[in-house]
């Protein structure tokens, strides 16, 4: 017969059993205390909403590019207008959409008044040329008379000098009287004076004739400039293309009467394009020439630089021009739509969060998520971009906030997320 192990059993005392009960009871009390503390310390929700009905984003530290969004279109960088040089009737040699080359005749203006003025001025030019030729002949004739007068005075002087020498020799031999000698001396003095005055008169007359000829030449030259100016204006009545491109809009009808400086048509240079962007008036003071611009054309991203800003506001928008940084843009067309980001500022190592409609509340509050409850928290925002918002105070990295619209629960200090 096999004996059992009852002889080896040890009877446990009631004291050990009591200690075990106290330990279990203590653990239960601690757990209940922790749960009660958690419930008491957790925020009390005034309202509950579906968690899937809101958008939640996590704050992080990183770089933020401050930018603004703008839309616009592709325009020709060079689109000159053609103007009428004078009043007259215009003949158009091209139609809208025609391709033109530099120097090609695109329009002609008929100006009968200008052509008549040119004929009159040419006639006046011919008259002045004849007058100048006549004055030259008169000058030659007068010079001949003056030369004759000077030569005669010289001959008289030489004769008087001979008579004086003869008288001086004769008086020594007592062949003539003293009166005859004095008369010869007087004749010599008179001849010298006459020759001197003749020389001076010839010099003055030559200067006067030269001055009159120069004046006549100046009148002719002035008239030549008048004729040349009219001929230039007549030549400009034939209008040629200043760029290689296409004809844009025709601004007048063929054979219509146009005034001086009236616009006739627009030419479009197809070799260079720019983007024309419309920027909201509120951002007008933030943008500046030289800022980088990121544009999207037919799904392709291209870079450019802000090159011009309009000084006026139209329909609460400011027009700007953007020059492309790259030359080869593929097949882009006039008036093609473009969306762009003007990069205003690049900030590094900032606390940021994804942009959302929570900014519609003013940017002063955010609903921070704590233990499944969204609690209204005061915040301060900084720079904003198209995608992100800088948070200056009120939140910390890795915090989560609701970034969707707060309109339905903005009156509640806390919201339970189900």
Per DSSP, which regions of 207-316 are E strands? Answer: 238-240, 245-250, 257-258, 263-269, 273-280, 292-297, 300-309
Q: Give CA–CA dist 26/175, Å, rounded.
A: 182
Of 269, 263, 266, nearest in space to 85 by CA: 263
Through-space distance between the first and last CA atoms of the chain, rounded to whole angstroms: 70
CA distances from 135 to 140, 148, 212, 213, 262 (A): 9, 20, 8, 7, 46
Which residues make beta-bridge pairs with 170?
none
Sign of CA dihedral 246, 252, 255, 261: negative
Of 241, 236, 269, 256, nearest in space to 77 by CA: 269
- Measured in residues, the chain has a length of 418
In words, the CATH class of domain 86-109+238-266 is mainly beta
Looking at residue 86, what is its pLDDT? 92
As its CATH architecture, domain 47-65+347-417 has Beta Barrel (2.40)
Q: Are 186 and 108 in contact (CB under 8 A)?
A: no
The answer, as to whether pTM is greater than 0.75, is no
Q: Are 267 and 82 in contact (CB under 8 A)?
A: yes
In words, the CATH class of domain 70-76+270-346 is mainly beta
Maximal CA-CA distance, the chain? 218
Task: Tell me the pairing of strands 47-49 and 414-417.
Answer: parallel
Question: DSSP characters for 329-345?
Answer: --S--TT-EEEEEEEEE
Q: Give CA–CA dist 415/49, Å, rounded.
A: 7
Which alpha helices (DSSP H) does 110-243 contain, by range? 112-172, 178-236
Torsion, Cα of 84, 107, 99, 244 (10° steps): -50
Torsion, Cα of 17, 19, 23, 28 (10° steps): 60
- ∠ CA 248-250-251, nearest 5°, is 125
Looking at residue 193, what is its pLDDT? 86
CA atoms within 13 A on the CB side of 82: 30
Of 344, 361, 349, nearest in space to 391 by CA: 349
Question: DSSP characters for 88-102?
Answer: EEEEE---TT-EE-T
Of 354, 368, 357, 364, nearest in space to 392 by CA: 364
Q: Give CA–CA dist 345/156, Å, rounded.
A: 102
* 162-178 exposure pattern, b = at least 16 Cβ within 10 A, e = fewer: ebbeebeeebeeeebee
Sign of CA dihedral 222, 228, 229, 231: positive
Q: Give CA–CA dist 338/221, Å, rounded.
A: 58
Looking at residue 50, what is its pLDDT? 87
Q: Give CA–CA dist 379/381, Å, rounded.
A: 7
Domain boundaries, the chain: 47-65+347-417, 70-76+270-346, 86-109+238-266, 112-234
In three-state secondary structure terms, 411 is coil
CA distances from 172 to 38, 176, 185 (A): 163, 9, 15
313: number of Cβ within 10 Å: 12
Looking at residue 7, what is its pLDDT? 52
pLDDT tens, N- to C-terminus, the chain (418 residues) = 445 554 555 554 445 555 566 666 666 667 566 555 444 444 555 678 888 888 999 999 999 888 888 999 988 888 899 999 999 999 999 999 899 999 999 999 999 999 999 999 999 999 999 998 998 888 888 888 888 888 888 888 888 788 778 777 787 777 777 777 778 777 878 888 888 888 888 888 888 888 988 998 999 999 999 999 999 999 999 999 998 888 988 999 989 999 999 999 999 887 788 999 999 998 888 899 999 999 988 888 899 999 999 999 999 999 999 998 887 776 777 888 999 999 888 888 999 999 998 988 888 999 999 988 999 999 999 888 878 999 999 999 999 999 998 888 888 888 888 8
Of 113, 78, 81, nearest in space to 237 by CA: 113
Looking at residue 40, what is its pLDDT? 43
Q: At what angle do helices 178-236 and 112-172 cross, to 10 degrees?
A: 170
């Amino acid at each position: 017969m096999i004996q059992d192990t009852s002889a080896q059993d040890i009877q446990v005392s009631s004291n050990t059993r009591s200690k075990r009960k106290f330990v279990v009871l203590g653990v239960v009390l601690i757990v209940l205390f922790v749960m009660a503390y958690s419930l008491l310390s957790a925020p009390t929700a005034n309202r509950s909403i579906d968690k899937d009905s809101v958008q939640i984003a996590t704050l992080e530290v990183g770089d933020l590019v401050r930018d603004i969004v703008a839309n616009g279109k592709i325009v020709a960088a060079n689109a000159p207008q053609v103007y009428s040089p004078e009043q007259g009737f215009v003949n158009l040699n091209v139609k809208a959409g025609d391709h033109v080359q530099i120097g090609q005749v695109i329009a002609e203006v008929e100006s009968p008044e200008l052509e008549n003025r040119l004929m009159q001025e040419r006639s006046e030019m011919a008259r002045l040329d004849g007058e100048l030729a006549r004055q030259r002949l008169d000058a030659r004739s007068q010079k001949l008379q003056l030369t004759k007068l000077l030569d005669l005075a010289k001959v008289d002087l030489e004769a008087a000098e001979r008579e004086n020498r003869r008288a001086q020799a004769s008086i020594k031999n007592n062949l003539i009287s003293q009166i005859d000698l004095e008369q010869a001396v007087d004749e010599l003095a008179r001849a010298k004076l006459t020759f001197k005055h003749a020389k001076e008169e010839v010099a003055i007359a030559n200067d006067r004739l030269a001055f009159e000829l120069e004046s006549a030449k100046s009148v002719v030259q002035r008239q030549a400039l008048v004729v040349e100016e009219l001929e230039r204006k007549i030549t400009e009545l034939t209008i040629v293309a200043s760029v290689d491109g296409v004809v844009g809009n025709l601004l007048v009808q063929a054979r219509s009467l146009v005034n001086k400086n009236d616009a006739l048509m627009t030419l479009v240079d197809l070799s260079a394009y720019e983007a024309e962007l419309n920027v909201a008036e509120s951002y007008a003071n933030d943008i500046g020439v030289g800022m980088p611009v990121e544009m999207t054309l037919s799904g392709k991203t291209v870079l450019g630089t802000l090159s011009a800003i309009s000084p006026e506001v139209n329909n609460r928008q400011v027009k700007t021009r953007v020059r492309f940084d790259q030359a080869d843009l593929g097949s882009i067309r006039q008036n093609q739509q473009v969306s762009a980001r003007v990069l205003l500022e690049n900030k590094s190592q900032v606390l940021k969060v994804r942009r959302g409609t929570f900014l519609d509340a003013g940017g002063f509050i955010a609903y921070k998520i704590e233990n499944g409850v969204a609690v209204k928290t005061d915040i301060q925002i900084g720079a904003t971009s198209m995608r992100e918002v800088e948070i200056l105070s009120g939140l910390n990295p890795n915090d989560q906030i609701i970034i969707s619209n707060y309109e339905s629960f903005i009156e509640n200090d806390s919201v339970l997320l189900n």
